[in-house]
Structure 1
């Protein structure tokens, strides 16, 4: 009985030991982690089979063996494991939202954070932004006005600094977000060619980028100048005689000897192009004109205090804000300065009126114009150009009760002068010469040779702009450079004040001059 009991217990014990790994393996497949538990389950099954041989009779051990050897049968579902493990293969998809969230966070941290706006030379502006958190870097958007020229990046993975050439300036952004700009030079460019200029200088041309070229000018090996043509032509003007134009595409023009004073009126170029110059109150501009219809193309004005290059057909025109301009027609057999042109006759007329403006004191400017029919003088207030008086041959002086003295001496000579005394008391008047007509032009109605023309006050006339009792300077403004025609000259020879009688004219003149003097004293 005891032997039978021990045998039954041993058989049950062996069976229990063998069954545990099988159950464990089944549970593992159901959880979808079959690969690792499968290896673990097969090992215990093999280890459990010999155990009964050592602790129990051979027969029970053999009886238990089928239980152990059925373990592979329980792993049979492994052949269908793909279906059970499908969720495991989708695990990356399950983690995708987390990756997307990280990407969104990174994008959020990469958003622009404005840092500063920097005004640069050359009319450029740089708007600096900070980006990133772990790998912080900076961007700089470079603009001219509202036009975006490009972007720079520095810091983070973009390097210590970034430099670009914009409108002739090398702009640099560093890793700290600081922006600087200097005129671009050869160190930023690619050499293109070297040219010998008419006046003996040498021009070395460099390409900064498309439509952006740079030139260095040398004389006997010494650098004497440089030009940047960034998006628009640049010009070098040598002593009012030689011009060198560098175009944005690197082409050049070089000429000499075709400069003329820029005054209001019409001009003809050597290729037949007709130009009109007109003063707008601030500067003088140019436009082409159809000689048949008189219709213009629209006026263009020079840059303040500088030069402007204009193209009319083949003609290249350089316009100076100082009152001169020059023309060059590539390929023309003959070159010439712009010639004054008479639209009524359709012919070149070199004897057009000549004008200068002079400060004569008491806040007054004298606009002196010489024509073939004699001199004209207009006195205006400086700044607002209100007309005080107009004089000519028919009305050479103001009346005695005008309150000021102004007259043209030698009105019927080739060298007339204006005498003006605007302040009372011991103040001295001044004498001012009219400009001369161009060479070869004559003044009509001159007095017979040898006939003296007194000035009536004992003061002699002068051919210079030297005022008696002090030096008078020429004003580089308005009509000085422009030579604009005089406006309609109502009331010649009198003080001009709309809506006033003769007595009021005198009072208005004196009151105005006194006011101008007081204003000047306060501002001075």
Structure 2
């Protein structure tokens, strides 16, 4: 996970790094004039960013914006008694970026590392120490504009971003220590609450709808404050539609994924574990399924209203019948089987065929709440997955029937007929799952069954080349 990586990297010690001097203090670049005032907040402009103390009289101002072309470190001279929150717009001594990754300033050796990765690093060697400093998370201008950097109590810092045009709201990334450990986020304004308050490292931090950040020493039990939700911020998780969710651990086996707003509108959260005890749970968020389990695993997929792809492939192998198809979740495919081990549904990664999840009559819930095995008739299980925008929220496909002639001999071996030989194998095209099986009304209310016709997409999952010509004939016949 990105935040786990950032935390691990923040503690790394870099020793013996040989860097090529590029710019020295005697060849300093021209820079905007420095302000003598010690401002407690810094308004964003082309020369500002997140300042990190390097050594007496020097700071590195870190920027990581898409519009800048990548990570940048501006090495500036400051007051020898500089502290975080003081003005840092001193004389520019060197600039590191994608085209200039090494510099030496007054004996301080610096290099820009992993510049093309998600976690750029500034490696520093000098003044009797070596350390690795992480850049803030990369920002895209359409995602948010940095408006100020605010020092907080307890050595914390808030980087405040403004989002949106018509429905403006603010987000604050909370950083800890001189190595920029990212420990949490706050969001307020627009479609969110007017204030967001959480406790980080014993400091209660509040962000309001105008982007103002305040901090106080938290006096609540266990460092969590009397009104602050208990939990550990595990960082952001990118979702299938390009947005993010903030993952919180509230307790043992209890996780909450707070979904970021979209188009200025809040989208709620997903909870697994906790008081309700759900092993896994999910929510339909627009055209996307977002799921979470009580181990903190997060998954999301864009999903279609058409449901399972037309052109399911059915075949037998030994005494087991198989059916393969696509699924309503982009990136996942399906392999159903029915034989001596009973009805089994394997949900596969459509790109590499690895098994993402397995469901059966003994383990009926899966895919982070987005799939289930349910009997519509006694002893006739069906496989169901969530869909978006259809007449019903679940699309259905039947498991294939067991080979009719397959029997078990007194010796326990399986085969066909009295001779117990291997069952004949073959491939046939069967009607689309929801058309053949019917489509269930949510919760089976009213006892009615509706029929939903899917798209005409062709699924060739897990069985390369099987029934290809027949699939095309069937798809043509359906049009």
| TM-score of the pair, normalised by structure 1 | 0.24
Higher helix fraction: Structure 1 or Structure 2?
Answer: 1
| TM-score of the pair, normalised by structure 2 | 0.26
Of structures 1 and 2, the larger Rg is shown by 1
